[in-house]
Amino acid sequence: RKEVEQDPGPFNVPEGATVAFNCTYSNSASQSFFWYRQDCRKEPKLLMSVYSSGNEDGRFTAQLNRASQYISLLIRDSKLSDSATYLCVVNVNAGNNRKLIWGLGTSLAVNP
């Protein structure tokens, strides 16, 4: 089983739709979690960190479920500009080791 797994998609949704992605992780020692966004042929950029209590930033909501070991990203009122690949990132802090583990990404296409 991969350490971080995402559905690669693509998710094709119309403008204005609500779409949600999940990301599962296998290491229960995972400490912190992030969603990055990567546009085609561009570098990844941080979209949001994921906090235990869940957090919201405008149309984006991130949730963490430690019991089931997954994080989620919800996008409301999708815009054409939301089309991108969304990367799930997990920080594993075990003893002296710190490591960021990257998912392969979920591709989103928002259509007019």
Partner 1 sequence: DVKVTQSSRYLVKRTGEKVFLECVQDMDHENMFWYRQDPGLGLRLIYFSYDVKMKEKGDIPEGYSVSREKKERFSLILESASTNQTSMYLCASSSGIHEQYFGPGTRLTVT
* Site residues, partner 1 (CB under 8 A): 32, 34, 42-46, 49, 87, 91, 93, 98, 100, 102-105
State which residue, 17 or 101, has the beta carbon closest to partner 1. 101
State in angstroms the smallest separation of the CB of 103 from partner 1. Answer: 7
State which residue, 17 or 91, has the beta carbon closest to partner 1. 91
State in angstroms the smallest separation of the CB of 93 from partner 1. Answer: 8
Per residue, the 3-state secondary structure of 42-103, as one string, reads CCCEEEEEECCCCEEECCEEEEEECCCCEEEEEECCCCHHHCEEEEEEEEEEECCEEEEEEC
> What's the angle, vertex CA 47, arms to CA 25 and CA 62, rounded to 5?
55
DSSP label of 4? E
State in angstroms the smallest separation of the CB of 99 from partner 1. Answer: 8
State which residue, 78 or 92, has the beta carbon closest to partner 1. 92
